[in-house]
Amino acid sequence: MGSETPLHLPVIDFSNKNLKPGDPQWDLTKADVQKALQDYGCFEASFDKVPIELRKSIFKALEELFELPLQTKLRNISKKPFHGYVGQYPVVPLYESMGIDDSDVLEKVEAFTEKLWPQGNNNFRTTIHTFSKKLSELDITIRRMIMESFGLVKYIDEHLQSTNYLLRVMKYEGPDTEETKLGLNAHTDKNIVTILYQNHVEGLEVQTKDKKWIKVKPSQDSFIVMIGDSLHALLNGRLHSPYHRVMMTGTETRYSLGLFSIPKAGHVVGSPDELVDEEHPRLFKPFDHVEFLQFYYTEAGQRSQSALKTYCGM
């Protein structure tokens, strides 16, 4: 399934108090972000604005959520593909996940919580909402840096307002064997930016441009930042959207969660003219992300080597 390599993802520190647009530290960090995303499509981020107690609480919340009866978890439904409950898949039997739309909006988290706990669950609601709000600060910082890097300052506000968040929470059962088993198939994310956080159980692997797999081993106080196909298209191919997968071994359960910034339904994703020239012809037709996602989950989309190219490539 690909050869292993001792390569490591770049680590970038976002904890500096002076990390504000226009400051020298901002520009240095921005250059590191651009290089990491061009080389790998992802990096490890140190970010101290999520307190240690909140980090611990988030995994307690996930355990409590996944311990609910299946019939209760099935109440997590969505019109958008892969936004609701996913489980019971024969191809990836170790994997189970749920989605919380607009997890940075307290009322939306409250509505999700009441669906699963009609009697209420204040600890769960507060933990999910606070974690998402803190992590959205990192997402906004990174996206500002990316837009600046490519001379798209005048589009920053429009870009930030064109997205909302999905918090995807995931559980991977340990396969109870030392033989490595597939936790989640190799795929690229379809959104703008993904920020991943996991417990101590490893499993995430990222594919490099030369098709080697890196075993990602983040520290307990860092996050994995990864770009998706929609940002790859928005930037006219300037940044790499990496394939990644989860491979499981042993007996321990792996919990992880990802904050996904996603183009809103109806918003058209397209490269600004500034990124199109003779050297960089336009790669993709403008598209609606929700319609692209619907195509991705069709038989043709699943068969495609690149669903994005098949769907809207020039």
Structural domain spans, the chain: 4-12+23-264
Fold of 4-12+23-264: Jelly Rolls (2.60.120)
Question: According to the model, what pLDDT value does residue 120 have?
Answer: 93
Is the pLDDT score of 2 beyond 70?
A: no
**What distance in Å separates the CA atoms of residue 45 and residue 94, rounded to the nearest whole number?**
27
- pLDDT at res. 6: 58
Burial-class residue 10 by CB neighbours within 10 Å (0-12, 13-18, 19+). Answer: middle
The Cα 10–Cα 38 span in angstroms is 11
pLDDT tens digits, one per residue of 156-189? 999 999 999 999 999 999 999 999 999 999 999 9
Rounded mean pLDDT of 119-135?
Answer: 97
Q: Has residue 3 got a pLDDT over 70?
A: no
pLDDT at 5 over 50: no
* Cα(40)–Cα(70) distance, integer angstroms: 37
- Quick one: residue 239, left, alpha or beta (phi over 0 = left, psi -120 to 50 = alpha)? beta
Mean pLDDT of all residues in 80-106? 91
123: pLDDT confidence band, cut at 50, 70 and 90? very high
The whole model's pTM is what? 0.95
